[in-house]
Structure 1
């Protein structure tokens, strides 16, 4: 089994004095995601660089937020055990579905996401086809929102050792954590949280708040929209397309959540 952190020797320099010590680094390794439907061969969907831990959640969350699977589609998730090298066993996850997998849809998605000609309007319209605007509510007190970055940080065990990971956490309106995940990639951390909800049979995740470290990109808002998460909160700034997407899909987007303050960029009616 892979570990989320790795030990390394470093030379520390302080006021001109050099010393050697052991340090903890966040592990970064590739994860290959494969999908297989009834009577189908396995198809490679994606390879992402991630921090080991929550790999099944990451695979399922990625497939779901990319619109490649729906609730109830997943039959089984497992590491591939037929690889030539044992050292790669935990870097390949296979998702077995209850229904045939649309390989052509995967290819269309890949082409669209890889094309230089794709614009923000096309990306928004793609999401609009795949999901409805999120459900109304809940109303959340500003005091709860501004407390979430600290609550997220307190749950980051690997960050405590390494200082080098992003995090995403799902909270209820009272600020109680429902799921917190860490990863070298912020989008991966979100996929892990969404995957946890999916595997628990709790998507759409209405009535919840997604708190992320760092900024809020379009990709983060897109994943929240597909998962039915009504509030997205970020420590730093959102992008222009993130705000446009949040407004369009009924998501309350909050940025610069720090030091007891916050900026609400869309659907401020949920913040009291």
Structure 2
């Protein structure tokens, strides 16, 4: 299986002094996800938690919602020549292709056109299939009433970025990874995953929850490094997560989707400062409504 980090020699210049030294870099490799043997997507990811990543991706796309809908996930065997990421040229398995097998009776989506996609570590998948998945396949609509059960204190939210950062073990060595973490409304850390792509880190969290039979994550708070894109809102909604917080800005489509689905979306969460873009009713503070 691929390594999470790799070593490279670099030329270092500090105050005009030149030296050479080894540097630790985060690994980035392609992962092809197949569904019942047919290619579905290729994503650039940091190796590790690949089965959870694939499962979480399928939750986000509306294919899976329960552990019993999944038969198994396996790595595909290597092939001489390295075709489609299967091998490294000599038949050795590179662990860069996984095949997801659905249980009998679980419908297989049409993957011949709009679902045959390439995703990147920077932005992931965003398109018509994703929009339709949120609007037509969400199995756990978020509670949108005034008495929503999830309530979170602003002070609890303010502490999450530091808790996220403190738990990023690989980032400490590379400085080149995003992270996603799942917290309780009281700020307890439940899970954290790191990856070169925020969307991959979120998929790994959601996929682990699916495999352990914990979906929907209806009392969780999802905290992500960087910005909040449409796709991250989509993934939170599809997993039944009511609150998404990010240290940077959301996109306009992310805000629109959050408002439409009843998600609480928070951006620019830095210190005691934050912007609430949608779902303010879940904040335990006077004047927070809508």
Q: Normalization by structure 1: what TM-score?
A: 0.90
Quote the Cα distance in structure 1 between the aligned partners of 2:222 and 2:158.
13
Task: Show the counterpart of 1:242.
Answer: 254
Look up the match of 1:92.
97
Which string of whole-angstrom CA distances, capped at 9 and with x for unpartnered residues, describes residues 76-124 of structure 1? 122123533354441111212212665552235427999xxxx989964
Distance, in Å, in 2 between the alignment partners of 1:231 and 1:187 is 16
> In the alignment, is the contact (CA less than 8 A) between 1:35 and 1:101 conserved in 2?
no
Equivalent position of 1:31 in the other structure: 31
Q: Which runs of 4+ in 1 moved over 6 A?
A: 111-114, 119-122
1:90-239 maps to which residues of 2 (within 5 A)?
Answer: 90-99=95-104, 102=107, 105-110=110-115, 124-131=131-138, 132-135=140-143, 136-239=148-251
Moved more, 84-93 or 224-233: 84-93
CA distance in 2, matches of 1:18, 1:175: 45
Residue deviations 1:196-235, cap 9 Å, x none? 1111101111000000000001000011111100000000
Please tell me whether the aligned partners of residues 181 and 193 of structure 2 are also in contact (alpha carbons under 8 angstroms): yes
Distance 2:116 2:27 in 1: 30
State the distance in 1 between where 2:32 and 2:128 align: 30
Partner SS for 1:215:
coil
Q: Deviations over 1:132-151 (max 9, x none)?
A: 53133300011111111111
Deviation at 1:125, TM superposition (A): 5.0
For residue 84 of structure 2, what is the aligned residue in structure 1? none
Instruction: Measure the CA separation in 1 of the matches of 2:178 and 2:7.
Output: 19
CA gap of 1:120–1:106, structure 2 versus 1, over 3 A, is: closer
| 1:39 equivalent in structure 2 | none
2:75 to 68, 72, 79: 79
Distance 1:104 1:225, change over 3 A: closer
Q: In structure 1, how many angstroms separate the alpha carbons of the residues matched to 2:190 and 2:280?
A: 23
Secondary structure (helix, strand or coil) at the match of 2:110 reads helix
SS class of match (1:96): strand
**Distance in 1 separating the partners of 2:47 and 2:28:** 7
5+ unaligned residues in a row in structure 1: which ranges? 37-41
Aligned pair count? Answer: 263
* Alignment-derived partner of residue 16 in structure 2: 16
Please state whether the residue corresponding to 1:90 is helix, strand or coil: coil
More helix by share: 1
Q: What SS does structure 1 have at the residue aligned with 2:112?
A: helix
The 8 Å contact of residues 137 and 230 in structure 1, kept in 2 or not, is answered as: no
Residue matched to 2:122: none
Q: SS of the residue aligned with 2:274?
A: strand
Corresponding residue SS for 1:105 = coil
Deviations 1:170-190 (A, max 9, x none): 111111111100111111111
